[in-house]
Structure 1
Amino acid sequence: MLSLILSSSLLLLICGSNLFWYLSLWTLLSLTILSFMQLYTSLFMFSMYNSFFLSDSMTLILISLTFWISSMMFLASQFSIKISLNSETKFSLCILILNLILIMTFSMANTLMFYFMFEASLIPTLLLILGWGYQPERLQAGMYMMLYTVSASLPLLLIFLFTENFISCSSILYNSIIQVKLPSGSWSFNVLVLFSFLAFMVKLPIFSLHLWLPKAHVEAPVAGSMVLAAILLKLGGYGILRICQYLTFQLNFTLIFSSVLALKSLIAYSSIGHMSLVLAGGLSNNSWGWGASVIMMIAHGFCSSSLFALANYTYEKTHTRSLFTTKGLLLTLPILSLWWFLFSTINMAAPPSINLLSEIMMFSSLMLFFKYLILCLMLMSFLAAVYSMYVYTATQHGGNPKFMVPYSNFNNTSSTLLILHWIPVNFFILKTHLFFL
């Protein structure tokens, strides 16, 4: 798969700039189909490991999600980048490089190579924010993102270098931590686990480590917001699940309870709430929690990406980002309001979406750990529904602003993008066995 990506990228670079946008889009769509064909065959039933690459069900699912969202980024940016002639060749190249880095990150088994690719994904993301952001504050947002993520991941690099001294050759990802002769439950072992988690908790992010995320989302273009919410946040969940898969330790009640309490911020930041549940599922130390974390990452990837695309379409029609002035879309854009309703219900875990399955499994696994968590989980579920309903009613109902163009057109490209987000998040319920490690 990696050789196919590299050859496709070289072919695209050789082609002229006039065809670069469309060749990039169709190449990513073709790779998406191939990745899903590989996922649905018997190849996902086994796990392949060597000293450099690994391949299991979670890796293949996240690679398929990366291809899918990358192709959707081109469709979402059709008007703002391609039609507006806003450096579309550089934009396409930036997305292709970011896609290649993310695929290699999910495929790396060597610890140092994983860390290198994990950090390298920040560079194309920063270029997207600085090059195609909307406001001058994008410089501050990029600085926040780099400072938070790089400073938090430096302890992880030290741990990787420290553990490499205990083994004679490169090892499977995080398997080297097991070989360090530290007694489980000791103070030094707990510090090792905490600093291993720190880089991934900032990437998720969890509450108190999330301040960089709202700034990056506000200043990023629609493609940057889509890849940031759908893929880059999954790097944190992926790393935590790998640690929990290979590393057995005594579960810290304070850590898992704090991840659930972070869901109060779901009123303002739904991504932080869902990713905090991914952390809680990884810490549950049971197969239901891990499977629920993987399903929630995939569901959140499709749902959050589509919501950011809808927000961009709403801005293109209303020419304002203010929630107080965006009113009455139900009268002027009923098709857009229908998509807002569909994805708002998915965000509140309505059937038949895989969001509902992930929350049922997640709540069950957490209540097995501590039954009184049901109070926090009930509050979380209620606030999630209130948040989604408020976003829908605040933007779709009310009086029609005078500055809006009445009954604006909603083109086929936008409908295609939203359909390609809605289908997998609802029909993956038929293939739930794909999501278990």
Structure 2
Amino acid sequence: MLGIILASVSIFMVPSNNMSWYIKMWALALLSVISFLHLFGGNWSYEMMNSFLNQDSMAAVLVSLTLWISMMMLLASQNSVKMAKNSSSQFINMVLFLNAILIVAFYANSIMIFYFFFEASLIPTLLLILGWGYQPERLQAGMYMMIYTVAASLPLLLTILWNISDSSCSSMLMTSSLRLKSDFINMLWGSSFLTLLIFMAFLVKLPMFTVHLWLPKAHVEAPVAGSMVLAAILLKLGGYGILRMYQYFNFESSNLLVLIFSLALWGGVLTSIICFRQTDFKSLIAYSSVGHMSLMLAGAFSNSSWGWYGALVLMVSHGFCSSALFALANYTYEKTHTRSLFLTKGMLMLLPTLSLWWFMFAIMNMAAPPSINLVGEIMMFPAIIFSSSYYTISLGLMSFLAALYSMYLFTCSQHGGSPKFAKPFSTFKSSGYILMLMHWLPANLLIVKSDIIFLWV
């Protein structure tokens, strides 16, 4: 664990020259392969390095995902940043800085260190959007993202500080074995107020329906690397925080949790319907992310081991799938210079290989076998239905609409007449094939070794 942190920091020391982009990309590739080998090797148990860092299989899985997606971000940004000479050295340093912050956040044992790096991840993401975004509206999108996330996380900071002073312990996994005796806790433990204070920061980061408006704005204005890291990793940081807070605060069910549970499921249905009203590729994929994360949230709040297993599996599978869909949207944009679903037609005639990848990831987005998306949904559906049979209708609708908007996205962009403004002779480069394959392989082959995800609870 310490080796991965040191290695990710040491990549910064590569001197800046014409080859530094490729050297840093290969260093990230090597590091991600080592982390995957570490993931698959040996028997898993909780490992505590010191009072600040720890490692269990949940953190290790998400760190492997972070390293893998960071490498994919550089590969996807090669044309728009490296070839276009668009401040490539600053860009790669920003990606590596964000990578190091996220790794420490996932490995953090102290709740204060986790909170600090949880918030610090916003800074490089904001700089990626402002520095390499598409349109002047990126300023408004960045402001939306900062106001939503920072305002929602300040109550969490107050609750954490109060709890540390009361229990004299900041370790997330040590405090989970304590039963706190304070009168104030006994008074507020089952109440809605404390639940709202603790979970609001993570519900905005996921994001949950009603606090999701910043996400489509940020995605539409972000460069391809910003969209990939937002969808694949930063949204998972919110889910990871919810699961850790359950352990840290010894949560019991409260009235507000039932409301959040219901809002998550019906909000997922509403965002799935909203997908059909989108005209922008990236906006549609962003709203589909809100729907998938609503399902993950319902699995986490079902308060059962199957729901938690399914939530973690869905986080990992959605990380690979949504990242690949944003990369595909970027390749289509480079080809047609538009992200409109009405204007982008007939790509099947121009680039059939790109259409094949669109189809592969569209069916993965609807949880078709053999993707681990299917495993996560199979585990979460019984957990949610057993918690209350009233959720069966919303679950069925969400599953049906996910298949519907995935096929809508595919048919709108790939079928129809050929657009006259597309460049017909530009080819899909080999780096694009590698990028898509390296998203597809782990998202489908991890089903063989999915037991590594199930060892952390």
CA positional deviation for 1:42: 1.9
Cα distance between partner residues in 1 of 2:425 and 2:108: 49
Quote how far apart the aligned CAs of 1:10 are: 3.7
Pair 1:244-2:250 in alignment: no
Residue aligning to 1:155:
155
Label 1:14 to 1:392 Cα distance change in 2 as closer, same or farther (>3 A).
closer
Regions of 4+ moved over 3 Å:
1-12, 45-50, 182-189
Distance, in Å, in 2 between the alignment partners of 1:206 and 1:168 is 32
Q: Secondary structure at the match of 2:145?
A: helix
Report the alpha carbon displacement of residue 431 of structure 1 after superposing the two structures with TM: 1.2
Name the aligned partner's letter for residue 257 of structure 1: S
Partner residue, 1:219: 221
Q: How many residue pairs get matched?
A: 437
Mapped to 2, the partners of 1:419 and 1:20 lie a distance apart of 24
Q: Distance in 1 between matches of 2:180 and 2:18?
A: 53
Correspondences of 1:16-165 after superposition (within 5 Å) = 16-48=16-48, 50-165=50-165
Cα drift, residue 104 of structure 1: 0.3
Q: Is the aligned partner of 1:192 residue 2:194?
A: yes
Deviation of 1:8 after TM superposition, in Å, equals: 5.2
3-state SS in 2 of match to 1:44: coil
Which whole-Å CA distance do the structure 2 matches of 1:49 and 1:209 have between them?
36
* Pair 1:364-2:364 in alignment: no
Percent identity, please: 56
Q: Distance in 2 between matches of 1:170 and 1:244?
A: 14
How far apart are the structure 1 equivalents of 2:183 and 2:53?
Answer: 27
Identify which range, 270-279 or 98-107, moves more after superposition. Answer: 270-279
Alpha-carbon distance in 1 for matches of 2:173, 2:210? 28
Q: Does 1:181 align with 2:182?
A: yes
Answer yes or no: is 1:257 the counterpart of 2:258: no
**420-429 or 2-11: which moved more?**
2-11
Q: Quote the residue 1:424 is aligned against.
A: 442
Alignment of 1:210-359 (within 5 A): 210-246=212-248, 247-250=250-253, 252-264=257-269, 265-267=271-273, 268=275, 269-359=287-377
Change in Cα spacing, 1:71 to 1:97, as seen in structure 2 (3 Å) is same
Deviation at 1:173, TM superposition (A): 5.5
The whole-number CA distance in structure 2 between the counterparts of 1:401 and 1:266 is 28
2:18 match: secondary structure: helix
8 A contact 2:102–2:117 mirrored in 1: yes
Question: How many Å separate the matches in 2 of 1:362 and 1:154?
Answer: 31
Distance 1:42 1:166 in 2: 39
- Cα shift readout 1:270-311 (whole Å, capped 9, x = no counterpart): 100111111111111111000000000000000000000000
Q: Give TM-score, length-normalised by structure 1.
A: 0.96
Secondary structure at 1:350's aligned position in 2? coil
Instruction: Quote the residue 1:400 is aligned against.
Output: 418
Deviations 1:127-177 (A, max 9, x none): 000000010000000000000000000001101111111133432358379
**Deviations 1:377-435 (Å, cap 9, x if unpaired)?**
11111110111010000000010011112253111000000000000111111112111
Is the alpha carbon distance of 1:182 and 1:203 closer, same or farther for their aligned partners in structure 2, counting shifts above 3 Å? farther
> Which stretch shows the higher mean deviation, 298-307 or 187-196?
187-196
Question: Normalising to structure 2: TM-score of the pair?
Answer: 0.92
Q: Structure 1 residues 355-364 or 49-58, which shifts more? A: 49-58
What stretches of structure 2 of length at least 5 have no aligned partner?
276-286
**Secondary structure of 1:424 counterpart:** helix
Asked whether the 8 Å contact 1:333–1:408 carries over to 2, the reply is: no
Distance 2:258 2:49 in 1: 32
Structure 2: distance between partners of 1:245 and 1:170 = 12
C-alpha contact (below 8 Å) 1:259/1:277 kept by paired residues: yes
Q: Distance in 2 between matches of 1:85 and 1:102?
A: 27
Deviations 1:209-267 (A, max 9, x none): 00100110000000000000000000110011112234230253222111111112024
Indicate if the aligned counterparts of 1:259 and 1:276 stay in contact, CA closer than 8 A. yes
Tell me if structure 2 keeps the 8 A contact 1:332–1:408. no
Cα distance in 1, alignment partners of residues 367 and 214 from structure 2: 26
1: CA distance, partners of 2:172 / 2:333: 46
- Cα distance between partner residues in 1 of 2:222 and 2:179: 39
CA 1:15–1:283 in structure 2 vs 1: closer, same or farther (change >3 Å)?
A: same
Offset of residue 373 of structure 1: 1.3
Instruction: Give the aligned residue type for 2:84.
Output: S
Q: For 1:410, which of 428, 432, 457 is the aligned residue?
A: 428
8 Å contact from structure 1 (residues 44, 60) kept in 2 = no
Classify the secondary structure of the residue corresponding to 2:396.
Answer: helix
The one of 190, 194, 209 aligned to 2:211: 209
CA contact (8 A) 2:14 2:24 kept: no
Quote the Cα distance in structure 1 between the aligned partners of 2:335 and 2:341: 14
